[in-house]
Amino acid sequence: MKKIIELLNNDLNIGDFIIPKESIFNLGYKVFKTISILLLMIICFKIGKAVINKVVDREKKFKFSMDERKSQTLGAVLKSILRYSVYFVGLFGIVEIWLGTIGLTLAGIGGVAVGFGSQSLVKDMINGFFILFEDQYSVGDNINIDDKGGIVESIELRITKIRAFNGDLHTIPNGSITKVTNHSRGDQRILVEVEISHQANLDKALGVISILCNKFKEENEDVIEGPETLGVSALKATGITISIAGKARPWAQYNLEMKLRKEVSDTLKAANIEMPWPVIDC
């Protein structure tokens, strides 16, 4: 311990070079402040994320609160703002420690230069703001942006992340988003088409399908309207096509269509209504 104190109280000799003890203390002080800022940045990240998560969770419990998807979107945006703010303040703090006022001046000039060369970044953030302000989509929505489609995983000020149904993650700059198709807003259409033979009793088929539709609506709470038979939608060489349509809650239409097809098939078989079969001439 005494040797360490003696080393700190004396100049450091390295060969022909002599480093004054004041410079050693100054260097150590700068390193200490830099590490402190980095630790403070990490603490701010953790505390900020915890506060944001708590606010979002509390918002979900209010009676007159935003829905879960909008709460998740708000949380993602707030975390994005927190990250950019902490990076910005921490970086300038470290620059000031090592370069002083001159460093801040150079950083300011560099920032202006970067600003002129990063117009796309500014465009991304401005467009991201309008996407959030206009509520074009939220986290969890099923959307299409140009040729990319999937579930929105994250919305930030600069980018939007979409998880495709095959597992691919698409990261799209907000500035390049011009057209958005949202499949999760409003009631979704159910459409099922069934084909019966020309020899089958059409009136009987329409009757049993109508009875099934009324039963189907009572048994499935995700059905908003219908389903009901629209009548004969096509006359083909193989048979007669009957269309059934209705409306369902978002995300429920796919399961309801599959379920309705199966029940229609079982009902027609139970009523001895013939389905068309391909005829091969020998």
Q: Where are the domains of the chain?
A: 2-117, 122-182, 188-270
Task: Tokens for 144, please give them.
Answer: 């299409």
For residue 280, what pLDDT is reported?
A: 60
- pTM > 0.75: no
Q: How far apart are CA 264 and CA 245, in angstroms?
A: 13
Q: How confident is the chain (282 residues) per 10-residue block, as mean pLDDT? A: 50 52 65 83 83 72 55 70 76 73 55 56 76 80 87 83 89 87 82 90 90 89 86 87 89 87 91 78 54
Angle of helix 68-117 relative to helix 21-61, nearest 10 degrees, comes to 140
CB 242 within 8 A of CB 161: no
End-to-end CA distance of the chain: 104
CATH of domain 122-182: 2.30.30.60
**If 0-12 CB within 10 Å is exposed, 13-18 middle and 19+ buried, where does residue 150 land?**
buried
226 by DSSP, 3-state: which?
strand
For residue 102, what pLDDT is reported?
A: 54
Question: Does domain 2-117 sit in CATH 3.90.1170.50?
Answer: no
Helices then strands, counting H and E runs in the chain, come out as: 6, 10
276 by DSSP, 3-state: which?
coil
Q: If we measure between CA atoms, which residue out of 129, 184, 172 comes closest to residue 148?
A: 172
Cis peptide before 227 (omega within 30 of 0): yes
Strand partners, 151: 142, 163
Domains 2-117 and 122-182 share a fold: no
Q: How far apart are CA 76 and CA 205, in angstroms?
A: 52
CB 188 within 8 A of CB 249: yes
CB 205 within 8 A of CB 268: yes
Q: Which CATH class is domain 188-270?
A: alpha beta
Q: How far apart are CA 30 and CA 107, in angstroms?
A: 18
For residue 118, what pLDDT is reported?
A: 57
